[in-house]
Chains A and B, each alone.
Chain A
Amino acid sequence: DVKVTQSSRYLVKRTGEKVFLECVQDMDHENMFWYRQDPGLGLRLIYFSYDVKMKEKGDIPEGYSVSREKKERFSLILESASTNQTSMYLCASTPRVPTGYEQYFGPGTRLTVT
């Protein structure tokens, strides 16, 4: 069974802390994505990566960075967490040329910054 896993389902951090969210996929997909989901706003793309060591800014990259050292792993980093980064974070992966059903999401990490 194909899978995208995320390191934590729930996370509580303090303002100013450095936060790492990890995502691992076992489908040998080239593309990986980080989104945040907020009520009434849908999913907004933070960063994505087309290949190892490559990254592209999405629609809302401010306050975030990413790392892709291995094909299967894509990390989202909050350098100094702030309360407005309290959200649900979703990771996804697709093959280089997405077709049909081949798009997979992780279960999400609900991050609370206090």
Chain B
Amino acid sequence: GEDVEQSLFLSVREGDSSVINCTYTDSSSTYLYWYKQEPGAGLQLLTYIFSNMDMKQDQRLTVLLNKKDKHLSLRIADTQTGDSAIYFCVTNGNTGKLIFGQGTTLQVKP
């Protein structure tokens, strides 16, 4: 079945760049998303990339998509303590269902 894999934990120092990686199996995904969940809060759509794109940049966020390897990454430049959260890699099938990775907890140390 469809699957999305990500590492569970990443720790960085404030000011460094963070890179969260994800691999997926469903090649029919038209959109690939990164959701952010802050402690005690719901999920918030952080950014997304359309499947015919290789890269998308949005301020401190850079999303890279390698369709051949089915690999998605999220780079956060100049990571701040406010970036501490769980980040979910998510793909969608053509039925509208979302497939979630396990979530990567990003810890930012001051």
Chain A residues in contact with chain B, CB under 8 A? 31, 33, 35, 40-45, 48, 50, 58, 90, 92, 94, 96-101, 103, 105-108
Q: Given A35-B100, A40-B102, A94-B96, 9 more contacts at CB 8 Å?
A: A40-B103, A41-B102, A42-B101, A44-B100, A98-B92, A101-B45, A101-B48, A103-B33, A105-B44
**Nearest CB in chain A to that of B94: its residue:** A97
In the complex the two chains form, is B102's CB within 8 Å of A106's CB?
Answer: no
Q: Is A40 a contact of B8 with CB atoms below 8 Å?
A: yes
Tally of A-B Cβ pairs under 8 angstroms: 50
Within the complex, the shortest CB–CB distance from A35 to chain B, in Å, comes to 8
Is B96 in contact with A31, judged by CB distance below 8 angstroms?
A: yes
> B39 → chain A, closest Cβ, in Å?
12
Question: Dominant SS at the B interface?
Answer: strand
Interface centre among A48, A100, A105, A106 (most CB of B within 10 A): A105
Chain B residues within 8 Å of A90, by CB: 42-43
Interface residues of chain B, those whose CB is within 8 Å of chain A, are 4, 8, 31, 33, 35, 41-45, 48, 88, 92, 96-98, 100-103
Please report the C-alpha to C-alpha distance between residue A31 and residue B43 in the assembled complex, in whole angstroms. 17
Nearest residue, chain A, Cβ from B2: A59
Other-chain residue from B31, B48, B98 in contact with A92 (beta carbon distance below 8 A):
B98
A101 to B4: give the CA distance in the assembly, Å: 20
Name B42's contact: one of A31, A42, A98, A105 (CB within 8 Å).
A105
Given the complex, which residues of B lie within 8 Å of A103, measured CB to CB?
Answer: 33, 45, 98
Query: Known contacts A98-B31, A101-B48: does B100 contact A107 (CB below 8 Å)?
Result: no
User: CA–CA, A105 to B88, complex, Å?
Assistant: 13
Cβ contacts under 8 Å, B103 to chain A: 40, 42
In the complex, residue of chain B having the shortest beta-carbon distance to the beta carbon of A43 = B100
Chain A residue with the shortest CB-CB distance to B102: A42
Select from chain B the residue with minimum beta-carbon distance to A107.
Answer: B42
Q: Tell whether, in the assembled complex, residue B41 and residue A107 are in contact, meaning their CB atoms are under 8 Å apart.
A: yes
23 contacting pairs across A/B (C-beta < 8 A): A31-B96, A33-B97, A40-B102, A40-B103, A42-B100, A42-B101, A43-B43, A43-B88, A43-B98, A43-B100, A50-B96, A58-B97, A90-B42, A90-B43, A97-B96, A98-B31, A98-B92, A98-B96, A99-B31, A103-B33, A103-B45, A105-B44, A106-B42
